[in-house]
């Protein structure tokens, strides 16, 4: 799989994945079946939930995994890899299974959002790229969803390409922002590749190129009479920008019978300026003229503007969206949760840490979401072992995810399994939805969350519980690990 600059993305992996792969091969463990979960520990911006995104790019990557002759030559040149392992890589293909939650799904900490079952070397080599795509796009989709919810139904456009973290940050970032709820992007190539609607009008340089602001506006209205959105703050928004825009609309658009037009503000006191602009436009008869604002916006600034009575129809949001500036790391991880022995028996695995938050959930698992039958709202998520099933015709008691002692009883609910099969035996079995379908799905799924979960400050802690069988397995493995640790510790010296 080649990137835009010709790099084979199969080589976009941490070097230890290759050293471990070589080690597995020389130890005779190359074909041992392993299970890995992708999950995250904290919601960005201390929010109530995140949005899953990036699966389409993961699918494309897995389908195209190949080592090119120049890749093998590079690895051989390092002088540390077994020659038989290098020959193995020459015919490398993914032959395993993958399950994942669909893009656009609201997700919560510690849930298995993607699970890989594959031979050890194959599963290990996927780690870096899977996390790169899922972490980045889930981060941007989550931030975009927060910003779009703050806009309260007004259009939000992603304007961040020039401030993004590199080419991929701009291109797939625009894709993720669209999933999260944005109406379009300034990034042309994201429209060309993914169908994210690209939009844009003028920069300050357009206005400066002409002898006067008025001439610049007239020329633009003549060039784009059906899409005349004028940037009015190059010099002075209230004294010249808006009056000149009105003059241009009157001279060019009115004789054509066109009433659709707009202005954009990129600086100044947006609440004050937009209120004044609305009055000026309405008094001039341009009641349908829209007002767009941009300049370092995010969900909190948008909320404040609307609380102050700003008259805004749409927002252009750049750097604080495309970089998720206030919380720029998603923190998804890829952890081994089980292996199979020579007879195919599943052996659960757990990672133990003094940092309680880094202790993993063992075993091959699946994830349910419970919806109230009467309201259709999501009430809890439930992680259980793969062989378990949930009988949603019977009441179920679940625990608060933090305290563990706080419980609630669920009745009259519908259980939906969230992970779906993506690959089986190396073959794609999932029909990738269109980007517009993903965006629509995301909007609907977010609408099933209670407002308390969606608020920006101190959101309600959504219930994500472990099944009693999974909890018992985890407790038993931790207890066993504790016994081994005590046995391995040296006896304390006398007097200490």
Identify which of 127, 95, 106, 112 has the alpha carbon closest to the alpha carbon of residue 53. 106
pLDDT for the residue numbered 442: 98
pLDDT score for 406: 73
In Å, how far are 5, 144, 160, 172, 187 from 167, measured between CA atoms?
10, 19, 11, 9, 11
User: How far is it, in rounded angstroms, from Cα 420 to Cα 9?
Assistant: 25
At residue 404, the pLDDT reads 66
Q: Is the pLDDT of residue 298 over 60?
A: yes
Rounded Cα gap, residues 240 and 242, in angstroms:
6
Q: How far does Cα 339 stand from its chain's mean position?
A: 29
Q: Are 277 and 309 in contact (CB under 8 A)?
A: no
pLDDT at 489 > cutoff 60: no
| CA 31/CA 122 separation, integer angstroms | 9
What percentage of the chain has pLDDT greater than the value 70? 95
With b for 16 or more beta-carbon neighbours within 10 A and e for fewer, the 40-56 pattern comes to: beebbbebbbbbbbbbb
| Phi-psi group of 359: left, alpha or beta (phi > 0 → left; psi -120 to 50 → alpha; rest → beta) | beta
- Dihedral pair phi/psi, residue 98, rounded to 5°: -140, 135
Structure confidence at residue 322 (pLDDT): 98
Looking only at the bridges linking them, the beta strands covering 464-466 and 378-385 are: parallel
Picking from 12-21, 139-148, 350-359, 479-488, which range would have the lowest pLDDT averaged per residue?
Answer: 479-488
In CATH terms, the superfamily for domain 9-140+328-481 is nicotinate phosphoribosyltransferase (3.20.140.10)
Q: Which of 367, 338, 340, 342 is nearest to 473 (CA)?
A: 338
pLDDT tens for each residue of 96-134: 999 999 999 999 999 999 999 999 999 999 999 999 999
The predicted pLDDT at position 493 comes to 46
**C-alpha span between 56 and 114 (Å, rounded):** 13
Neighbours of 94 (CB within 10 A): 22
- pLDDT at residue 4 greater than cutoff 60: no
Domain ranges of the chain: 9-140+328-481, 151-322
Least reliable range by pLDDT among 37-51, 146-160, 252-266, 405-419: 405-419
Q: In whole angstroms, give the CA distance from residue 74 to residue 269.
A: 56
Residue 330 pLDDT more than 70? yes
Beta strands in 192-325 (DSSP E): 229-231, 262-265, 290-293, 314-317
Asked if the model's pLDDT at residue 405 lies above 80, the reply is: no
Region 409-435: mean pLDDT is 97
pLDDT of residue 495 exceeding 80:
no
Rounded to whole angstroms, how far apart are CA atoms 115 and 138? 16
The mean pLDDT value of the chain amounts to 95
Task: Calculate mean pLDDT across residues 179-205.
Answer: 97
As a whole number, mean pLDDT of residues 169-182 equals: 98
- Cα–Cα distance, 82 to 346 (Å, whole number): 29
Q: State the pLDDT confidence band at 488, using cuts at 50, 70 and 90.
A: low
Q: For residue 386, is pLDDT > 60?
A: yes
Residue-level pLDDT at 364 = 98
What's the pLDDT score for residue 93?
A: 96
Distances from the Cα of 67 to the Cα of 32, 64, 125, 419, angstroms: 21, 10, 12, 30
Domain 151-322 belongs in CATH node 3.20.20.70 = yes
Copy the structure tokens of residue 449: 């969350």
Residue 496 pLDDT > 60, yes or no?
A: no
């Amino acid at each position: 799989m080649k990137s835009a600059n010709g790099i084979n993305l199969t080589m976009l992996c941490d070097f230890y994945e290759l050293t471990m792969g070589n080690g597995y091969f020389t130890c005779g463990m190359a074909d041992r079946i392993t299970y890995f979960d992708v999950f995250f520990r904290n919601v960005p911006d201390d929010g109530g939930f995140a949005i899953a995104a990036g699966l389409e790019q993961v699918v494309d990557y897995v389908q195209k995994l190949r080592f090119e002759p120049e890749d093998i030559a590079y690895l051989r040149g390092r002088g540390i890899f077994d020659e038989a392992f290098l020959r193995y890589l020459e015919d490398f293909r993914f032959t395993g299974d993958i399950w994942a939650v669909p893009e656009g799904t609201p997700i919560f900490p510690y849930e298995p959002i993607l699970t890989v079952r594959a031979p050890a070397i194959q599963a290990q080599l996927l780690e870096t790229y899977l996390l790169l795509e899922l972490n980045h796009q889930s981060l941007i989709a989550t931030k975009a969803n927060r910003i779009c919810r703050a806009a309260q139904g007004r259009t939000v456009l992603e304007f961040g390409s020039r401030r993004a973290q590199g080419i991929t940050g701009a291109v797939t970032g625009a894709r993720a922002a669209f999933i999260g709820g944005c109406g379009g992007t300034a990034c042309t190539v994201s429209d060309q590749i993914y169908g994210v609607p690209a939009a844009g009008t003028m920069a300050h340089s357009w206005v400066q190129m002409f002898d006067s602001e008025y001439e610049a506006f007239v020329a633009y209205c003549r060039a784009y009479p059906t899409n005349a959105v004028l940037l009015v703050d190059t010099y002075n928004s209230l004294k010249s920008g808006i009056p000149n825009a009105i003059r241009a609309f009157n001279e060019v658009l009115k004789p054509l019978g066109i009433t659709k037009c707009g202005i954009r503000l990129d600086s100044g006191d947006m609440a004050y300026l937009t209120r004044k602009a609305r009055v000026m436009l309405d008094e001039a008869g341009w009641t349908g003229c829209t007002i767009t604002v941009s300049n370092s916006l995010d969900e909190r600034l948008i909320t404040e503007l609307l609380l102050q009575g700003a008259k805004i129809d749409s927002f252009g949001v750049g750097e604080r969206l495309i970089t998720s500036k206030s919380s720029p790391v998603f923190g998804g991880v890829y952890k081994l949760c089980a292996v199979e022995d020579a007879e195919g028996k599943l052996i659960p695995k757990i990672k133990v840490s003094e940092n309680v938050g880094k202790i993993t959930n063992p075993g091959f698992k699946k994830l349910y979401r419970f919806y109230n039958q009467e309201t259709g709202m999501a009430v809890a998520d439930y992680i259980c072992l793969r062989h378990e099933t949930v009988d949603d015709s019977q009441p179920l008691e679940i625990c608060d995810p933090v305290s563990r002692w706080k419980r609630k009883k669920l009745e009259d609910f519908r259980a939906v399994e969230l992970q779906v099969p993506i690959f089986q035996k190396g073959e794609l079995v999932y029909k990738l939805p269109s980007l517009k379908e993903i965006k629509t799905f995301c909007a609907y799924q977010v609408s099933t969350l209670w407002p308390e979960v969606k608020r920006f400050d101190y959101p309600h802690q959504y219930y994500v519980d472990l099944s009693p069988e999974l909890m018992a397995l985890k407790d038993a493995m931790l207890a066993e690990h504790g016994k081994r640790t005590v046995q391995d510790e040296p006896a304390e010296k006398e007097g200490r």
